[in-house]
Structure 1
Amino acid sequence: MYLNCHTYYSLRYGTIKPEQLLAIASENGVQTLALTDINSTSACLDVMRLSKKYKIKPVLGVDFRNGVQQQFILIAKNNQGFQNINAYLSKFLHNHDLQIPERPDQDLDDCFVIYPYQNDKHFELKPNEFLGITPKDLNTLKFSKWNEFKHKLVVLKTVSFQNKKGFNTHRLLRAIDNNTLLSKLPQSEEGHENDMMLPYNDLCETYSEFPKLISNTEQLLETCTTTFDFENTEPKNQKCLTENETSDYQLLKQLTYDGIHYRYGSEVEQKVYERIEKELHIIKKKGFVSYFLINWKILEYARSKNYYYVGRGSGANSIIAYLLRITDVDPIELDLYFERFINLFRQNPPDFDLDFSWKDRDDITNYIFNTFKHTALIAVYNTFKFRASIRELGKVFGLPKSEMDKLTRGKYNLNQLDQISQLVIKYSKYIEGFPNYLGIHAGGILISEQPIHSYCATFMPPKGFATTQFDMVVAEDIGLYKFDILSQRGLGKIKEAVEIIDANYKEQPPIDIHDIKGFKKDERIKDLLRNAKAIGCFYVESPAMRMLLKKLQVDNYLGLVAASSIIRPGVAKSGMMREYILRYRYPERRKEAHPVLQKIMPETYGIMVYQEDVIKVAHLFGGLDLGESDMLRRGMSGKFRSRDEFDKVKQKFFDNCIKDGKPEDLVADVWRQVESFAGYAFAKGHSASYAVESYQSLFLKAYYPLEYMTATINNFGGFYNTELYVHEARMHNGIIEAPCINQSFTQAVIKEKTIYLGFMFLQSLEAKTINRILNERQEHGKFESLDDFIERVPISIEQISILIKINAFRFTGINKRELLWEAHLKISKTVIKEDIVTLFKTERVNYNTPELPSTELENAFDSIELLGFSLCNPFYLLEKHSISNLRAKHLTQLENKLIIIEGYLITTKNTKTSNGKMMHFGTFLDRDGDFLDTVHFPPIAAKYPFRGKGIYSITGKVMVEFDCVTIEVSKMERLAIIEDPRYSVNSLNPTFQNKKSFQDLKMVQG
């Protein structure tokens, strides 16, 4: 009876959750309803999946609207109709210039069309078209021409809200959508306050004078049947890469055996062949053959284009993936657990996360869309967050910014707030988690056997690729499994570094960056790992990873693989990271492991480190079968829908252990470790893939640090910002130069030991200006003077001022203040046009400019303004002379001593204690450029907060644990820097208050 039901996927309009809609319908005795969200089919599959639980037959459709103006409703008679609706809706979602017409402008077979009733309009209806009569239309219908066509009329009772609170929420969402005050929201932008579901009998009573409308509606709904099989989770991805499944399997087998020589050479152990046959058998049985071949096809194209990539995920546990060159991880060498990658109980294919350089990924995505017929990116639901909602609703209610700031910081007593502020808090909590708008998944792509529109409509984000209206969880529910095409800057750094090295060292053989076996034995790399000197290196440069490497003193591949997973929150949270460090460093400690756990995980000393350890422990310690063990692993991931099944598995784990005679406290402790993983731990193959890339970057850092840091700077760093990588290059004896008109390019370049920063790092310098400079220099050679530059390059005074301030014309030998005067006198502020070539060159007028000296100190402040950081040592900008001569290198000798030291803030990590209080970890540089690591417990974090970038005086106790030094902070204050001389009355004669001479400053300039 309900032909127009909305969920909260009618974005910023509906207020009912999908399952809640079914529950409301069940309570009201409704057996069939049509889900017709506004311009959306996001909720359709979810409602179909959940409908059996509520014994309701859902019918699928869409409410087509321009804004809130309803044009018509389309309802699918069957699956083909649903596909037609999705394709039709997608036409408008792909092209925002198209308006939805009053009537469908194409034949939509297998669909019903329902138009809103308009008394003054009368038009001919096709056999599949009807007019919808709302309760408020009933009185006028009696006197309308349409009353004579009762066979074409149906009940149209819209459902958008559950109750009055839902309607109030709707009004707030409409105000947010219209960016207006609630008091100024036009009524035309709202739904009707009575758009709520009535009990079935009450609805029939409302239309009792028009029984024909009721029967028409019921007959229409009975005609509609759309089905999706959620029980059969057989993959719905593209079934074949070749002409059929048989030839697909033959191709997979051939590629596998062809890859043996490349990976293993001529001497191959028997267990390699045994593993191959075991995997091929299960891959075929589970229907995953095409999944492997499609990944292989994508990467074959990548190799043809010489793109660097890393294949990771649980699929990295597979020898087939290794032989097909999807991954670079040898499961035989690492003894990777086969059942984590795939087993007969597992429904979904193994994960392959394919990482490409950020520069190459778009081409890979293009290739996929051009090669495979039914393809789409996956959406993510960007939801309302509590704090963001406070701001949105604060604006709707007209709260001042200061009040919104107070509410977002949580600095209030709810009972002491005024009524408006209480409403803001109340409704911010209510809409938290509501979908706000659709975004794009980080890398998920669907390659389907059936058209994507069989499942949902698609929209076209700025990225330019069709994107589903549902997320990856809904896709997996129906059996559509994503291919992950991801980008990361680490691969871009490696590729660019190799290109720079090959260009700069032409006399030596090209680098084989894939010589991982050689890298594992390299002593220089071992030294970098042991001493945690890995800034710029993939996955091993963060403060937490740097400290972990120091504590473990890892210098081998397997140790790094373990460290890549130990650092994850699950292992750390359980307290097992510390225990792993103890057992790693002190072999006698390993005897404390339970014998069963030691036997299951000998390599990690009886400690769960990898995802597959959950399966092993559940299976071998807890007595669960592999299907139940995998259910346990998935239950930890946060994507698992049914907690009931998970709880049953948990209970069986405990029952089996107790029945087996294991002590209850041991079982509880093991379970705590299992539970703490919470989806964070990596599969071992995944960690091993990360470690491969880490070794590649470590090799480049060990042998070509300046070239590698140049590539790092050009790829916008990694964990840290550009400033730290510039600093790291300087620590390796690099000379850093500001951008230069005659030496620099768009990106940074290295010439021997000198790195010239690129023009792209200058804030507000336009790309067209950069291109003009570089094109002119390439065609006609270097610039000889400022006049020569102005003559050859059309440029505005604003743009040339940026270049002069960064001292890009220093080759002229003229002070930049004088150059600025000249530029202002010689360049008009009018719109710049391209120069017209003339036969004779007009001589420039030269003006006598006053002598206006600039200083190195002004250069420092100009670089802070234009680059975001100074090219001099920031400690030389302190207002007062240092009161501490301590450096990071002294701290190992001062364990448990209270010290005062100064540090330049690099980064902070905020976290919460077990009781919810905020604490911080800080990373600083000392005056020599070495790292200082600090811990700020909640009382200190509250009393001495970080106050942005700068140099801090840090008071605290020196703590040394496993050779790793931290400062437990007891007091901290940010130190003042000198006044900016560019705006000082003494700017022509500045002095250093900290007694450092200009010559000192020059020494640390690039």
Structure 2
Amino acid sequence: MYLNCHTYYSLRFGTFSELELLQLAQTNHVTQLALTDINNTSAGLNFVRKAKQFNIRPILGIDFRNGVDCCFVGIAKNNEGYQELNAFLSWHLHKEEKLPAIAPHFDNAYIIYPFEKVLLNDQITFSEDEYIGISIADLRRLPFSKLVELKSKLVVLQPVTFRNKRDYNAHRLLRAIDNNTLLSKLPKTEEAHEDEKMFPVQNLAAAFSEYPFILENTEKLMNSCSIHFDFSEGREPQNQKTYLQSKEEDERLLEELCRKGLPYRYPEMNDTILNRLEKELGLIKKMGFVSYFLINWNIVSHAQKKGFFYVGRGSGANSIVAYLLRITDVDPIELDLYFERFINLYRVNPPDFDIDFSWRDREEMTQYIFDTFKNVVLLGTYVTFKHRGVVRELGKVFGLPKNEIDLLADGRYQPSRLDEVSNLVLKYGELIKGMPNYLSIHASGILISEKPAHYFSATHLPPKGFATVMFDMVIAEDVGLYKYDILGQRGLAKIKETMEILEASRPEEIAKFDIHDIKAFKNDPNINNMIKSAQCMGCFYVESPAMRMLLKKLQVDSYLGLVAASSIIRPGVAKSGMMREYILRHRNPGRAEEKAHPVMLDIMPETNGVMVYQEDVIKVANCFAGLDLGEADVLRRGMSGKFRSREEFQKVKDKFIGNCREKGYDDKLIFEIWGQIASFAGYAFAKGHSASYAVESYQSLFLRTYYPLEYMVAVLNNGGGFYRAESYIHEARMLGATIHAPCVNKSQPANCLYGTQLYLGLMYLKELESRVMDRILKERTANGPFTSLADFLDRVVISIEQVSILIRIDAFRFTQVNQHELLWQAHLFLSKGMLVEHPKLFPPRHQKFSIPKMHTTDLEMAFTQLELLGFCLCSPFELLKEPLKNDHGSKDLERYLGNHIDIYGYLVTVKNTSTHNGKRMHFATLLDQHGEVFDTVLFPPVAAKYHFRGRGVYRFYGKVVSEFGFLSIEVIKMLKQDYIQDPRYADMKTANKVFSNKK
């Protein structure tokens, strides 16, 4: 009898989930009900999936509203009706147009107009599928309305938005947040009525007892509705079924492409390769995944034609078919990649292909997919209310001052000292926390379905302009929609731009190598030595302090070693304690036989009996615990956040333990192995995934080894990496570049390289407008370099504020005129704020001014660079107020091993972390005064006493220690060093005297 039920996906309006709605209905003895969220269908599929567990027959619809004003409620008669309603809503959401007061005709959906709306619109004629909705509140007025005569058109429309008073209070707060207003000023018209509740069926029937025909009409309408989606384990995928016209054509094409790919990938063929290919092709056909592979092949083929760099990874990287189709660059034969992780008969969903493109190319690739295939949408996700955000929003709603909101949001308060209003903020914050706040886009997922997307959901149109469904990847997989992951990353852009720089400056070099010849890179001793020494600044996935530390500890000097390191670094392996154990076994070959269980060592000889990759879970579950491959895959999926059936996972866990006991393993061993599996928690990589990362790492390492300056410029021009731009500029200097501040004659918006001369891009001048950069480049390209400041001002439309930035950063140094003099000249030439927006017809006549001689010091320039660029181009050690007391650096650590050292370091990065008992500690990476890197650790007692206070130079006193050959300093004392006072605002004589003494 309930045709208008809302969940919290009626965003900033509803107050509970679709499961709680079903629970509420079951409690009230309701056997069928309609979910009709306001302009939203996020909960629809899961509502249908779960309804059977509550013995409820689900019906789907949409509450169409302009704001909170209900126009009408659409109820789908069947799946086709749901598609019609979704398409209608989507059109209005995409166009951002108001919904009409009168609904269009739907072939397979009912329309119910609220009683109040019918009275206002004076609509008397209704089509066969249109009804008037009567709520309990409307019953008081129904006898006095002529609508009572339309007996066949009246149905129950009792909205359900709340369960209790608390829900109603939460609703009012959500409405205040949505309206950005104080709760006390929230208009009543923006709220739902407090009686929008669900009553037991018998109570509802009693309320309408005087109008039995209304109940009969409602039941008849509901009984005529039927909605079905297949959520069974054996469901067919809902992805596009065929790539060509038929399944047979698809299979022939896939076989043909594999045959073509064999000579390219395997010049020397053997039975191992052919048998693996035959086995894979058989299973891919049997599982119905042929079109999935061909669509991915189409995508990467287009990328190849466009010259776009890409990396195919995910579990699909375990596939020889994917390797032959060039979806991936990982050879599963070479790496002995576990076939069953890629695909097995128990696996319903296709393998994952995560295809990374350059962040510059991703949008074009997405547009290509939308243009090429028929039913394409982006996958949605929900941004939920988090604690800090909720507290800030509710703080504003309750009228708290900003300082009190900050204290509450940051948790800096004593509960006993909070007033009533602050307690309400925290109380209702807990209630709202976790509710969806607004719809967003999945980071990478694209759906290409056989049926139109609106068969499953309405779509909205985020800023990028691609239609996006209203459900997430978990719901998508539940219904058989499997995503194509198209991601953007900066590592590929760095490789591509390095190639472009070489093409422009040294084209003869491009002919010397093939950037896709990974086999040659793997065997290059120079590259492998770089990995072993962990000199990988700027290189994809191997540059972070943690990875640098691991590479040193593992003594990695090969591709296979890097593949393992890429997965070992993940939190799951580290958390289980197996990272340390892996290092110990790697460095001490006899330890594996001593410590590892023989079965574990037999299953994973390559990793010394330690679980490192996702497929190791399947191997251990299958071989160690005797689970079949389907059950083993349940364990693997159960470790990830996207797994749904915890009951199924628990059953498999119980069977794992039971089987191990039957095999005679003692409980200590069983639970130790289970603990290792559980600790992976979805973080471990598939081996093929790690191998794909390692391929990209080797490409970037090759360029870093042989074309270091070009590569470092590309790194800087693509947003850097793990570190700040300043660190990569320093690295370029250490690699032989001379660094120049931006120059109006030499610089581009991005960084550019002339031989070994690196000119910083105008983009680093944070306050310089992009339109000014465009004008400078356009004029310089058209009419040649600028000869003087006057020439520049004549040719470029610019304000005094903008030209001052360029003068202060010394962008006119080619004039050999002091910047103070240039500033005077600019002020005399330009009146403040005045711009001439048209070209000058005749060369201007310039008045000659007499300006006194001025000078600028290096110290002034350093502080100006700090202000305008965010970093200075001299050594930060030159800016210290007090001279250095020693010249210790990274080179001295080995000499001081086991002893204490006094050392200065410029902060590069800090990792704040916690011990297992929650105590704070820090790992910090710094540059010494000679430009070399060293690492420090502040254990909890020291971290509690000393704090990093932003970038700058710190003096450390601590003990030099070694762990597996990696040297670091356990800090005992630390003090941040003061800089000289900025001479631009200080006594110039004093400041410059200190500076010159230091130099």
Partner of residue 927, structure 1: 929
Deviation at 1:902, TM superposition (A): 2.0
TM-score w.r.t. length of structure 2: 0.98
Decide which of 106, 116, 130 is 1:108's aligned counterpart. 106
Instruction: Kindly provide the amino acid, as one letter, of the partner of residue 114 in structure 1.
Output: I
Partner of residue 577, structure 1: 579
The answer to whether the 8 A contact 1:565-1:610 is kept is: yes
Instruction: Kindly provide the amino acid, as one letter, of the partner of residue 753 in structure 1.
Output: T
- Deviations 1:256-304 (CA, angstroms, capped at 9, x unpaired): 1110000011x21110000000000000000100000000001110000
Instruction: Establish whether residue 721 from structure 1 lines up as the match of residue 737 from structure 2.
Output: no
Partner of residue 822, structure 1: 825
Taking the aligned partners of 2:947 and 2:8, their CA distance within structure 1 comes to 40
- Deviations 1:860-909 (CA, angstroms, capped at 9, x unpaired): 12212221211111111122222343212212222333333222212222
The answer to whether the 8 A contact 2:320-2:332 is kept is: yes
Taking the aligned partners of 2:938 and 2:433, their CA distance within structure 1 comes to 31
Partner of residue 614, structure 1: 617
Partner of residue 135, structure 2: 134
In 2 relative to 1, CA 880–273 (structure 1 residues): closer, same or farther, beyond 3 Å? same
Taking the aligned partners of 1:759 and 1:84, their CA distance within structure 2 comes to 52
Partner of residue 643, structure 1: 646
Decide which of 750, 768, 771 is 1:768's aligned counterpart. 771
In 2 relative to 1, CA 509–544 (structure 1 residues): closer, same or farther, beyond 3 Å? closer
The answer to whether the 8 A contact 2:4-2:157 is kept is: yes
Taking the aligned partners of 1:179 and 1:884, their CA distance within structure 2 comes to 58
891-900 vs 478-487, which deviates more? 891-900
Deviation at 1:329, TM superposition (A): 0.4
- Aligned pairs for 1:276-675 within 5 A: 276-510=277-511, 511-592=513-594, 593-675=596-678
- Aligned pairs for 1:176-187 within 5 A: 176-187=177-188
Partner of residue 1004, structure 1: none
Taking the aligned partners of 2:715 and 2:616, their CA distance within structure 1 comes to 35
Provide structure 1 residue ranges, at least 5 long, that are not aligned to the other structure.
1001-1006
Partner of residue 887, structure 2: 885
Partner of residue 93, structure 2: 93
The answer to whether the 8 A contact 2:502-2:510 is kept is: no
What secondary structure does 1:892 align onto?
A: coil
Taking the aligned partners of 1:937 and 1:67, their CA distance within structure 2 comes to 54
Instruction: Kindly provide the amino acid, as one letter, of the partner of residue 852 in structure 1.
Output: M
Partner of residue 899, structure 2: 897
523-532 vs 534-543, which deviates more? 523-532
Taking the aligned partners of 1:379 and 1:220, their CA distance within structure 2 comes to 32
The answer to whether the 8 A contact 1:233-1:477 is kept is: no
What secondary structure does 1:634 align onto?
A: helix
- Deviations 1:956-997 (CA, angstroms, capped at 9, x unpaired): 33221111122223333322212222222x247732536645
In 2 relative to 1, CA 389–152 (structure 1 residues): closer, same or farther, beyond 3 Å? same
Taking the aligned partners of 2:431 and 2:951, their CA distance within structure 1 comes to 37
Instruction: Establish whether residue 705 from structure 1 lines up as the match of residue 705 from structure 2.
Output: no
The answer to whether the 8 A contact 2:925-2:933 is kept is: yes
In 2 relative to 1, CA 918–199 (structure 1 residues): closer, same or farther, beyond 3 Å? farther
Instruction: Kindly provide the amino acid, as one letter, of the partner of residue 950 in structure 1.
Output: G
Taking the aligned partners of 2:632 and 2:863, their CA distance within structure 1 comes to 60
Taking the aligned partners of 1:323 and 1:121, their CA distance within structure 2 comes to 65
The answer to whether the 8 A contact 1:160-1:196 is kept is: yes
Provide structure 2 residue ranges, at least 5 long, that are not aligned to the other structure.
none
What secondary structure does 1:893 align onto?
A: coil
Taking the aligned partners of 2:836 and 2:130, their CA distance within structure 1 comes to 59
The answer to whether the 8 A contact 1:122-1:146 is kept is: no
What secondary structure does 1:443 align onto?
A: strand
- Deviations 1:691-720 (CA, angstroms, capped at 9, x unpaired): 000000001111111110000000111111
500-509 vs 801-810, which deviates more? 500-509
Taking the aligned partners of 1:328 and 1:562, their CA distance within structure 2 comes to 17
Taking the aligned partners of 1:595 and 1:994, their CA distance within structure 2 comes to 66
The answer to whether the 8 A contact 2:133-2:156 is kept is: yes
What secondary structure does 2:377 align onto?
A: strand
The answer to whether the 8 A contact 2:980-2:991 is kept is: no
Taking the aligned partners of 1:940 and 1:91, their CA distance within structure 2 comes to 60
573-582 vs 146-155, which deviates more? 146-155
849-858 vs 743-752, which deviates more? 849-858
Deviation at 1:685, TM superposition (A): 0.5
The answer to whether the 8 A contact 2:499-2:510 is kept is: no
Deviation at 1:509, TM superposition (A): 4.8
Instruction: Establish whether residue 197 from structure 1 lines up as the match of residue 195 from structure 2.
Output: no
Partner of residue 38, structure 1: 38
TM-score w.r.t. length of structure 1: 0.97
Taking the aligned partners of 2:797 and 2:35, their CA distance within structure 1 comes to 60
Deviation at 1:910, TM superposition (A): 2.3
Instruction: Kindly provide the amino acid, as one letter, of the partner of residue 991 in structure 2.
Output: P
Partner of residue 948, structure 1: 950
Instruction: Kindly provide the amino acid, as one letter, of the partner of residue 228 in structure 1.
Output: F
What secondary structure does 1:40 align onto?
A: coil
Deviation at 1:120, TM superposition (A): 4.3
- Deviations 1:711-768 (CA, angstroms, capped at 9, x unpaired): 0000111111211111110111211111111111121111111111111221121221
Taking the aligned partners of 1:115 and 1:992, their CA distance within structure 2 comes to 84
Instruction: Establish whether residue 249 from structure 1 lines up as the match of residue 248 from structure 2.
Output: no
Instruction: Kindly provide the amino acid, as one letter, of the partner of residue 342 in structure 2.
Output: F
Deviation at 1:94, TM superposition (A): 0.8
What secondary structure does 1:64 align onto?
A: strand
Instruction: Kindly provide the amino acid, as one letter, of the partner of residue 858 in structure 2.
Output: E
Taking the aligned partners of 1:900 and 1:75, their CA distance within structure 2 comes to 75
Deviation at 1:837, TM superposition (A): 4.4
Deviation at 1:506, TM superposition (A): 2.8
Taking the aligned partners of 1:550 and 1:407, their CA distance within structure 2 comes to 44
986-995 vs 33-42, which deviates more? 986-995
Deviation at 1:155, TM superposition (A): 1.3
Instruction: Establish whether residue 796 from structure 1 lines up as the match of residue 799 from structure 2.
Output: yes
Instruction: Kindly provide the amino acid, as one letter, of the partner of residue 2 in structure 1.
Output: Y
Taking the aligned partners of 1:139 and 1:86, their CA distance within structure 2 comes to 34
The answer to whether the 8 A contact 2:8-2:16 is kept is: yes
- Aligned pairs for 1:136-151 within 5 A: 136-151=137-152
The answer to whether the 8 A contact 1:881-1:994 is kept is: no
Deviation at 1:575, TM superposition (A): 0.7
Deviation at 1:40, TM superposition (A): 0.1
What secondary structure does 1:507 align onto?
A: helix
Taking the aligned partners of 1:235 and 1:752, their CA distance within structure 2 comes to 55
Taking the aligned partners of 1:17 and 1:972, their CA distance within structure 2 comes to 51
What secondary structure does 1:894 align onto?
A: coil
In 2 relative to 1, CA 386–113 (structure 1 residues): closer, same or farther, beyond 3 Å? same
What secondary structure does 1:159 align onto?
A: coil
In 2 relative to 1, CA 572–112 (structure 1 residues): closer, same or farther, beyond 3 Å? same
| RMSD over aligned Cα atoms | 1.4
Deviation at 1:647, TM superposition (A): 1.1
The answer to whether the 8 A contact 2:934-2:968 is kept is: yes
Taking the aligned partners of 1:176 and 1:704, their CA distance within structure 2 comes to 54
The answer to whether the 8 A contact 1:750-1:756 is kept is: yes
Taking the aligned partners of 2:481 and 2:768, their CA distance within structure 1 comes to 46
Taking the aligned partners of 2:135 and 2:989, their CA distance within structure 1 comes to 79
Deviation at 1:681, TM superposition (A): 0.5
Partner of residue 692, structure 1: 695
- Aligned pairs for 1:853-868 within 5 A: 853-868=855-870
Taking the aligned partners of 2:711 and 2:909, their CA distance within structure 1 comes to 22
Instruction: Kindly provide the amino acid, as one letter, of the partner of residue 943 in structure 1.
Output: K
